[in-house]
Structure 1
Amino acid sequence: MGGNLATNTIETRLRGIAELHRSNFLPSPTTHRLVELALKAVKRRYGTMTKQAPPLGKEEVLNAISELGTSRINLRDKALLWIATDSWCRASEIVAFRVRDLQRQIDGSSLLYIARSKTDPFYEGAFAFLSARGTEAVLQWIKEAGLRDDDPIITKSQRGGCALRSTQQLSPES
């Protein structure tokens, strides 16, 4: 498999073989010293670097935002993209933001209060920055969706659903 498959693929297949043996209460051949040495040789010869697409830069995100229209779902997506690009928050933190967590600043920007975070084990809370343009987009979405203080900022929305008031919070996987 060396040279034909990425080392990560080979390791994934070895884990699958090991799990199959474990589930049948059999010893795994993947822990044999020859298998370990063979994998080490493949890594040494072909390397372990993975091919990954480069991340989006700020310019690409701003271009994507500018391409969005004024429909209900586009307003929601603009707010979501601005929050994500300005705050650098995790998906779980973004979907947890409530309208009350948005604290306006004199210069037009805002602070978003992060009540719970993966990196805050004692739930002391923290703040994330939201630019003036991001704040404007979020406020436009809040007005369009008719959100109240306790409602999540990022909610489910349907195309053409302007008459509907849906305040169901998105999941981080959505």
Structure 2
Amino acid sequence: MSQPPQHPTSGPEFGYQPSAGRYSPPDEFSHPDYPNPQQTPTPPPPVQAQPQHPPYAQPAPAPYAQSMPMPVAYAQPPQKESRSPALGIVALFLVLVACVIGGVLTSRTIDLIYAISSMSSGTPGYRAVESELTTHLLLQILPASLGLISFVLGIIAASTRRGAAAGVFAIIISVLATGAIFLAFAFGLQNL
């Protein structure tokens, strides 16, 4: 009959006592470092008291640390340069010029549209009015370009703090002026 294998959890230290009829290895096969289940285990040697050290001792200074010079106090950080508000003022000036030019050109263009709509193509002054209307429509590019430039300069001035207040006003006025000119054209052309 074959014996079941012994497991490390089947010794007396684990609460299982082997029965008397079970096989146990002879003493000649036992090793002195490993306890024999039939022998009583020897108690561990008494623990000697360790000398008490402070929990956190200061490290010894390094020899090179004594030869190093003490750090010099830091200098004051450089002051930010006061930026000129010229960019914001230029943007605001350009948008005001664009509003004046755009308003004058828009009102004159609407008047010319009314005049040409009441004329027939054979009327003697028709070609002159048509030529003036074409000129005014092409001149509308000037205030539109100035408004766009002032819008971009206003954004740059506001973001870089070079005349931020004037830059913000330039942005607002350029958006409002563009909307007002488009509305003026829409209402002027609606009454034809």
TM-score (norm: length of structure 1) = 0.21
Higher RCO (C-alpha under 8 Å, 6+ residues apart): 2
**Quick check: which has more Rg, 1 or 2?**
2
More helix per residue: 1 or 2? 2
More strand per residue: 1 or 2? 1
